[in-house]
Amino acid sequence: MRDPDGLIARAGVRGDPNRDQHFLVDDRVLDRLPTYLTELEADTSHLLEIGGGTGALTDRLLAMGDADEEVTVVERDPDLADFLREEFADEIAAERLTVIEGDALEVDLPEFTASVSNLPYGVSSEITFRLLPEQRPLVLMFQQEFAERMVAEPGTSEYGRLSVSTQHYAEPELVESIPKEAFSPPPAVQSAVVSLEPREPDYEVDDEAFFLRFVKALFTQRRKTIRNAIRNTAHISGLEQPDAVVEAADEEILRKRADAMAPAEFAALATLAQSVGEPGPGQ
C-alpha cells in the first residue's frame, strides 16, 4: 500500500481547510474503509470515489479487486487530478483507473456498483443525495454530527429532515467514529463513517419530489404540531389547499410534531396532501 504521508509529500501539497481539504492519513482507517463494502456484500466491479485527494484511499480501492475491476475517482482540484494521473499512470494505462477532473455535483458520473468516499464536508449533503437515488451501496465519511442525524430515529433530538430523506433511500449505519488526528490537517470536528445499504421503503410514495419537499416543509416547523406546520408551510410544500389536508388528516397525526413522525407516516400524509391539497403547477 502507498504511504499516505509519502503521497502528500510527492504531490507537494498541503490540505487547505478553507477549501475543505483534509487528507485522511491514518493507515488503519484507510485499510478498514473498503471492508465495510464487503460487509454490505457489495458488487465491487466498478467503485466510485468522490474527492480522491492524493490517492491514499484510491490505492486501497484498487487493491480490493481483481485485474478486471475498475475504480473511477472524481477530483475537483486540477493540481491533485494531475498528480493522480501521474501517480497512478500504470493503473490508468491498464484501464483499471479513470480520473475525472471536476465538481462531483456537476460532472457526469459513470455507472458504478458501489462508492467509498471521504466527502468534502461543505457539500457532503448535496453529493450524498446525488448518490443515494442510484441505489448502490455507499460507504461515506461525514462530520460526526451529520452522520448521527442520518441514522437518528423518530423521537430523538437528532431526528430530522436528513434522517427521513436518507432512510427513504437506504438503511444507514454509523460504523465508525474517526478522530481529528486521522486527518492532515485535522478538521475542527470529529468525523464518522456511515454505510448505506440501498433498500426499497416499506411504504408507497406516488411523487418522490413532492414527498421530499413536504418533509422539508414540515421540519421547518418542527416545534409546531403537524396541523399548524401544514398550514404554515404551504409556500414551501406548494399546497394550494392546506386546510383541506388538515380537514382530511387523522387527528392523531395532526397532534404530532415532525420529529415524532416515522418515514412511513410522512409518506402516508404526503400522499393524502397531494390528493386533496392541490399542489400548484410545477410543485
Binding-site residues for S-adenosyl-L-methionine sit at 22, 24, 51, 75, 103, 118
Beta-carbon contacts of 36 under 8 Å, excluding residues fewer than 6 positions away, are 116, 139, 175, 193, 195
Cβ–Cβ under 8 Å, residues 36 and 61: no
Instruction: Write out the H or E segment, with its range, that includes residue 23.
Output: strand 23-24
List Cβ<8 Å contacts ≥24 apart for 197-203.
197/40, 197/137, 197/170, 197/171, 197/173, 198/132, 198/135, 198/136, 198/137, 198/169, 198/170, 199/169, 199/170, 199/171, 201/167, 201/168, 201/263, 201/264, 201/267, 202/264, 203/263, 203/264, 203/267, 203/268
Q: Is 69 exposed, middle or buried (0-12, 13-18, 19+ CB in 10 A)?
A: middle
Question: Cell numbers at residue 213, please?
Answer: 419537499
Q: Which residues pair with 50 in a beta bridge?
A: 74
Cβ–Cβ under 8 Å, residues 220 and 233: yes
Binding residue ranges: 22, 24, 51, 75, 103, 118
Separation CA 224–CA 218 (nearest Å): 9
Backbone angles phi, psi at 228, to 5 degrees: -75, -35
Separation CA 263–CA 168 (nearest Å): 7
